[in-house]
Amino acid sequence: MNVFDEMGVYWAEIADQNQTSRQLQFLKNILKHDELALDFECGTGRHLIPLSKEGFNIVGLDVSVNLLRIAKSRWHNAVLVRADMRFLPFKPKTFADVISMDTSFGYLPSEQDDLQSLNELRAAMVSGGIFIVDVFNREHLMKRFKVYSQPEWKDYPSFLLLQERTVDVDGQKLRDIWTVRDRADGQIRVFEHIARLYELKRLQKLLEKACFKTNSIYGDYEGQSFSPESSRLILIANAE
């Protein structure tokens, strides 16, 4: 069981409020309706479901049973597959487009595992297919969390959340401690979330090893040019 399985509906509520409408508009400007796409680590389907309802042909993949169950409950027609990113159950050249949004990439045990997942993904894509990968900008986070700030409780529909965020001294990992106070039973639950951070050159090099060529780099969902101050690192790469 991973942290997203453990958090279940708590994670669903957090993700739903995290820039989903901006991310969807960004995707709709790039994806094509007549091509089969894969939502790589789709979670609760917050991108897949609205895109599917607007006519995009898209399949969702995730390793979390609980999140996929939530996605299916939200829309019964959602096409969902449960699998490990490192061992994809798809035939070669199945997908024309792949999306990996809102830092869905970087949770595997090692960078070698990340590379293995990219190799699997490349094999499942047609040559020239588009891969959109959206992660935190490492440099931005390192600057932002040099100074400790007192966390505050945030309101969500069924719980209160206290999020304590730190970046490792070497800038390799982002660590979140989420303290959840359930509104229904008053119980407090604590979850730890760890994501590997990538700087631009390092992520590009990893993509190149898996035979992806970067053609566009953005710093936000409105298409702003990337800079060290950007909050996001969004690469659009082609499968070679």
Quick: pLDDT tens for 25-54: 999 999 999 999 999 999 999 999 999 999
What is the overall mean pLDDT for the chain? 94
* pLDDT at residue 147, as a whole number: 53
* pLDDT at residue 1, as a whole number: 53
Q: Domains, the chain, ranges and CATH? A: 3-137+199-239 (3.40.50.150), 140-195 (2.20.25)
Q: What is the pLDDT of residues 124-146, one digit of tens each?
A: 999 999 999 999 999 999 887 76
- E-strand ranges in the chain read 36-40, 57-62, 80-82, 95-100, 125-136, 153-156, 159-167, 173-182, 188-196, 212-218, 232-239
Closest CA to 107 of 8, 196, 20: 196
The rounded distance, in Å, linking the Cα atoms of 144 and 167 is: 9
Q: Is the pTM of this model over 0.85?
A: yes
**pLDDT tier, 2 (very low <50, low <70, confident <90, very high otherwise):** confident
Size of the chain, expressed as the number of residues it contains: 240
- Taking residues 179-191, report their average pLDDT: 96
